[in-house]
Structure 1
Amino acid sequence: MCPQESSFQPSQFLLLVGVPVASGLLLLKCLHWHCSRWLPGACWKPDGQEDPVSQSTQLPKYEVRRECPPPTLPEAAAFYQELHTPTHGHTVTRQLMHKLLVFSAREVDHRGGGLILQDTGISLLIPPGAVAVGRQERVSLILVWDLTDAPALSRSQGLVSPVVACGPHGASFLKPCTLTFKHCAQQPRHVRTYSSNTSLLDAKNWRPLGRAGSHSSRDECRILLSHFSLYTCVLEAPVGQAPRKWLQLAVFCSPLAPGQTHLQLRVYFLNNTPCALQWAVTNEKPHGGRLRGPCQLFDFTGARGDQCLKLKYISEGWENVDDSSCQLVPHLHIWHGKCPFRSFCFRRKAANDSEDCSALTNEIIVTMHTFQDGLETKYMEILRFQASEEESWATPPPVSQPPPCNRLPQELFEQLQMLLEPYSVTGNDWRRLASHLGLCGMKIRFLSCQRSPAAAILELFEEQNGSLQELHDLLAAMERLDCASVVQSYLGGTPGGGGARENRGLELDEKL
């Protein structure tokens, strides 16, 4: 054997053996990375940015994505038929095809019409002339409480409004319709409208909507619809600016009955929109939970920081059942609008022979602080009082019959509510009507905190036994001729509406 052959064999051996072994190791490494990313329970951190979540922090059941089989054609047909069946002015909450939906539907002709989802701040206005003369169209307005239908957001994006659908999907009209719903962004210019040109049962494809077709005011988004689809608002702040949104903290618990040993308080971290609070109310109904006290506003920043809820004080005679007095809510659960909640459970202390706690446990006072991680000095105090044996919880007190008052027709009430609700820079909205009804500035500011200030003002007008003619004259004096025209259409159909009424109606037509 020559020296050249003996020196060649080791390198040849490395090529024949080492390369396959290295390839196999590389393949195993790739398989391990792929499986660790997709197998249940694995923790995958993209670019090393995702922090591990504590094992003690369990996700609420409603945050788990459900894998549902695709609906059959008969199931889909029944689903859409129920959504588009007229509800005669009522707002319906129902679970259809594994989706919790709030909806209302009606038929609209060339005179136009409107839809309102009660207690949600969501409305749809179909203007006169949007439907051809001689035709009738069924339209529906749907609030989607299925959290899996929301857009997939990045860390810098925040969900600040509900997901709203207008049906039937793809319907178009001769004139643009106006969809209105609330948002909770602190800076309206940071709000961007998204739409998904898909039906409710299809996979969603969210894309930004052109800014020309939408307008965001202080707490409201208005969209001019060329056709019906799904819509929502996302908070997108420019680079270098801290995005912020308003939260409402709502505390729920069940009535404290005599002899009850345990009490659980649940604190929800919700977007500051009416529909988010209604979601929590609906979620609490099966458990008998009721809202305790008014909601509190919280300034939530998009900068990284989980929300802390710390127990600071419990009144005598009670103790905390949980091991920890502090609980965390992951930042993205709040930022992406998942409606999370955290709970504390308390129990009565056993009375010693030398101490009688019966007088101490008939009420419970709890103080909690909540703040974002790292901002403990900027905490908010949550103080809630709970008394035992509250008869008002177990048996509602008898309701005295209110004095009779003139009720506006339901459809007229809803149309005026939609027209007067949007915030006007000049103040010529529900606030001007409130001042005409004699309300002072303090009462007007109080009404601005209501779910629907316009509805509250109209109800006040009803309680004052105001007539349609008086309401018409008030709106005309306000130079809200659009509202006065709506009232005039009802005056024309009322008995005895002749003479001077007809003359005033002709003058109004000329102004219009």
Structure 2
Amino acid sequence: VVVCLVLLLLVLILVYCRKKEGLDSDVADSSILTSGFQPVSIKPSKADNPHLLTIQPDLSTTTTTYQGSLCPRQDGPSPKFQLTNGHLLSPLGGGRHTLHHSSPTSEAEEFVSRLSTQNYFRSLPRGTSNMTYGTFNFLGGRLMIPNTGISLLIPPDAIPRGKIYEIYLTLHKPEDVRLPLAGCQTLLSPIVSCGPPGVLLTRPVILAMDHCGEPSPDSWSLRLKKQSCEGSWEDVLHLGEEAPSHLYYCQLEASACYVFTEQLGRFALVGEALSVTAAKRLKLLLFAPVACTSLEYNIRVYCLHDTHDALKEVVQLEKQLGGQLIQEPRVLHFKDSYHNLRLSIHDVPSSLWKSKLLVSYQEIPFYHIWNGTQRYLHCTFTLERVSPSTSDLACKLWVWQVEGDGQSFSINFNITKDTRFAELLALESEAGVPALVGPSAFKIPFLIRQKIISSLDPPCRRGADWRTLAQKLHLDSHLSFFASKPSPTAMILNLWEARHFPNGNLSQLAAAVAGLGQPDAGLFTVSEAEC
């Protein structure tokens, strides 16, 4: 009996050991199934970008490869990629998506580089003051970023019938986008994106943005640059050398440019000086504290590009700092002479104030201004009151380029109660909402627009056609471009819409159309009541 019990005990021990080994084997094998899915760390979004998540993949044991349409970003390689909520991050289409288990290799490193730059146009945070978007169909519409001079006109039939696109418009900070500038090149406009890239358009859209160059064919070589999906910047248009067959065309005016394009993307206007007479317009702004609680009083002198977007940024910054405008803005023409910009303060009453400036002037280096990519360029003059009761300030402030243009400000005001210049820079909304869809986005009523097009597109022996309309609107230098399009009249009307919204004088356009001498000119009568 004892022998039988011992044998039974040995059998039970052997069975237990075999079952334990099988369980360990099952656990090891199951790890193969889960090893391809590694946890990722989700970092909190930045305060100024609440909708943006930054996800860093763990590549210690696995890599995830995506084969499809990738659009790199210029921001340089980084082990991060960004996602955003909403329709701008469209579902992955017909590409292949594979998840496999491997160790880090050169292929994995290449994937990380691609993944970190794929958000070139896809990662767009919603709700920021420098971005707007809307959903459009064949009726067209308009996007605008208020108080920046930046807008995108989507004419009727630019989007194919049956298609619906969500289109965005974004203003970029120069320090966030690496735009390489060579030689004497300088950034003259804001850097603007419209997209998504790759959408099919059957008519050119019109991108409007400010510039700060003094247009002169003898002084400037102006180029429109566009960032490719690989992240490099390419010259897509040399202004003055446009051909009707080009994918891009530009109407350059004194302070704005209007870009015709059927390909959405990221654009900037860059100029290269051909002589020392080439000049950029700088806007000079003087700010000081609204309330001064100490003896010290700071006057900040900003030297900005003369564009609406640069002005908007400084006004918003000064609101946060508690500053107010103390003089009417001035414009200074800054030339490509390699000479610096100097600033000085004079005639400070020594019995009431004392200047803490230890030198006779302050200086901003030439390249800091000419490059055009540095924001908030300014100098601060610190004055000290002799007595806390001192409130009246009278002095002069000079800003000039060595051997160039200059401006003088005569300051005379009470620092405690004078707010006469505060309303000069009040930012007002432009035409209500930043996205307008359908007929409400256009000044010209749709039916009247169609009548004008059908009557002026056919050639007329007496010259009462679209060519005469272009001459009346001072657009006759673009006749070859208009003639290359299926409807030249539509191109003229689209450009008029882009240039004159929202404050365009419809009566002047009606007079130009009615004065063409068409037999049915009464059909073109346009009044505000019909809008």
Q: TM-score, normalized by length of structure 2?
A: 0.56
User: Residue 378 of structure 2 corresponds to which residue in structure 1?
Assistant: 341
Pairwise CA distance, 1:479: 2.5
For 2:270, the aligned partner's letter is V
For 2:173, the aligned partner's letter is W
User: Residue 368 of structure 1 corresponds to which residue in structure 2?
Assistant: 397
Q: Work out whether 1:123 is the aligned partner of 2:132.
A: no
For 1:380, the aligned partner's letter is Q
Deviations 1:357-391 (A, max 9, x none): x3xx2121231112223x27x53212334423327
Aligned residues of 1:186 and 1:246 also touching (Cα < 8 A): yes
Mapped to 1, the partners of 2:500 and 2:411 lie a distance apart of 30
Aligned length, in residue pairs: 343
1:472-487 map, 5 Å: 475-479=509-513
Aligned residues of 2:205 and 2:261 also touching (Cα < 8 A): yes
Change (3 A) 1:252 1:100: farther
Q: Work out whether 1:300 is the aligned partner of 2:338.
A: no
User: Residue 76 of structure 1 corresponds to which residue in structure 2?
Assistant: 83
Change (3 A) 1:145 1:285: farther
User: Residue 381 of structure 1 corresponds to which residue in structure 2?
Assistant: 408
For 2:148, the aligned partner's letter is T
1:274-289 map, 5 Å: 274-289=308-323
> Given the alignment, which residue of 271, 287, 305 partners 1:235?
271
Deviations 1:445-478 (A, max 9, x none): xxxxxxx9956846xxxxxxxxxxxx86664234
For 1:364, the aligned partner's letter is L
Deviations 1:419-438 (A, max 9, x none): 9xxxx985679xxxxxxxxx
Deviations 1:101-140 (A, max 9, x none): 6011111111111112221111111111111223211111
Mapped to 1, the partners of 2:76 and 2:298 lie a distance apart of 31
Change (3 A) 1:255 1:96: farther
1:410-449 map, 5 Å: 415-416=442-443, 426=472
Aligned residues of 1:130 and 1:176 also touching (Cα < 8 A): yes
Q: TM-score, normalized by length of structure 1?
A: 0.58
Pairwise CA distance, 1:255: 0.7
> Given the alignment, which residue of 196, 212, 227 partners 1:196?
227
Aligned residues of 2:298 and 2:382 also touching (Cα < 8 A): yes
User: Residue 168 of structure 1 corresponds to which residue in structure 2?
Assistant: 196
Aligned residues of 2:87 and 2:166 also touching (Cα < 8 A): no
Identity %: 21
**Structure with bigger gyration radius:** 2
1:45-194 map, 5 Å: 69-72=78-81, 75-78=82-85, 81=88, 102-189=130-217, 190=220, 191-194=222-225
Aligned residues of 2:276 and 2:335 also touching (Cα < 8 A): no
Q: Work out whether 1:273 is the aligned partner of 2:282.
A: no
Deviations 1:24-48 (A, max 9, x none): xxxxxxxxxxxxxxxxxxxxxxxxx
Deviations 1:452-510 (A, max 9, x none): 9956846xxxxxxxxxxxx86664234389xxxxxxxxxxxxxxxxxxxxx977977xx
Mapped to 2, the partners of 1:318 and 1:68 lie a distance apart of 52
Change (3 A) 1:300 1:77: same
Change (3 A) 1:474 1:148: closer
Mapped to 2, the partners of 1:307 and 1:475 lie a distance apart of 44
5+ unaligned residues in a row in structure 1: which ranges?
1-65, 84-94, 352-357, 397-408, 430-451, 459-470, 482-502
- Compute the RMSD of aligned alpha carbons: 4.0
Mapped to 1, the partners of 2:128 and 2:436 lie a distance apart of 26
Aligned residues of 1:145 and 1:279 also touching (Cα < 8 A): no
Deviations 1:21-80 (A, max 9, x none): xxxxxxxxxxxxxxxxxxxxxxxxxxxxxxxxxxxxxxxxxxxxx9995533xx333498
Corresponding residue SS for 1:275: helix
Corresponding residue SS for 1:256: coil
Higher relative contact order (CA 8 A, sep 6+): 2
Mapped to 2, the partners of 1:473 and 1:243 lie a distance apart of 38
Mapped to 1, the partners of 2:77 and 2:355 lie a distance apart of 39
